[in-house]
Amino acid sequence: MKKLIFILFLVLLFFQKGKSQTDSSFALITSIEGDIQSFVVDNMENIYILTSTDQLKKLDAKGDSVAVYNNVKRFGKLSAIDVSNPLKVILYYKDFANIVILDRLLNVRHSIDLRKTGISQVSAISQSYDGNIWLYDELENKLKKINEEGKLLLETPDFRQLFNEVPQPQQIFDQDGYVYLYDSLKGFFVFDYYGTLKSKLPYTGWQNISVTSRSIIATKDNRLQRYLVNTLSLKEDEIPGYFLPYDHLQFRGSKIYAHSPNLIRIFRLPK
């Protein structure tokens, strides 16, 4: 009898251990269904959904509707949405070199015609820590900062003077005193807020990139990539098969947001 009880105790212990490991690694938290063509998430876990009818909808962390913007196609096809500041949403239209700035309730605050400022070809934009806008001017090969009126506040030297092979960044991230420019063929180029190159990170082919205070998180070949800023090391995790298929992933806090047609699934990020 004692032996049987001991065996049952071991089985229960093993079950609880396996359950704990499962719960701490890629566990599904919830899902959101609807007309969802693409999405982004801010650091308050508000979700911004672009629909097939070109509406931009804002949902709070519980999935409740907060606001709607109906004039998405005013300047043609939307190229990018930046929600790094939850109080301000940036819409970028590459074909017409135009930026639209919305408030937290998706009302239009301002718009910038970049061509009137002498900037006609921009490959990437991002909000800056001080409420301004970073952009990469493809014609002048410079990282620039402008304000909401389009006034130039700062620019780097011509990248052709800095690099043997000029990077062509597709994304810009502003985080903790540094500006990260990402070229999928050449890796990360890290600048300080004065436009001085500080370092380069040779990670190419990364997708679904998020930059946090502790790490750069991305995917490559169905593996989760995490560059740990403090230790300068790279950690990898296999992405489970039940994530498939997905069109886009986004990382916020301890969560992974996975998009597939008309569905967002929210998982727990493994430690």
What confidence tens digit (pLDDT) does each residue in 186-239 have?
999 999 999 999 999 999 999 999 999 889 999 999 899 999 999 999 999 988
Q: How far is CA 221 from the centre of its chain?
A: 18
Distances (CA, A) of 6 to 13, 53, 203: 10, 62, 51
Residue appearing with tokens 């229960």: 12
Question: What's the predicted TM-score (pTM) here?
Answer: 0.87
Total tally of structural domains belonging to the chain: 1
CATH number at residue 247: 2.40.10
Would 256 be classed as within a structural domain? yes
Q: What is the pLDDT of residues 106-156, one digit of tens each?
A: 999 999 999 999 999 999 999 999 999 999 999 999 999 999 999 999 999
Would 48 be classed as within a structural domain? no
Would 165 be classed as within a structural domain? no
Q: What is the C-alpha separation between 12 and 18, in angstroms, rounded? A: 10
Would 44 be classed as within a structural domain? no
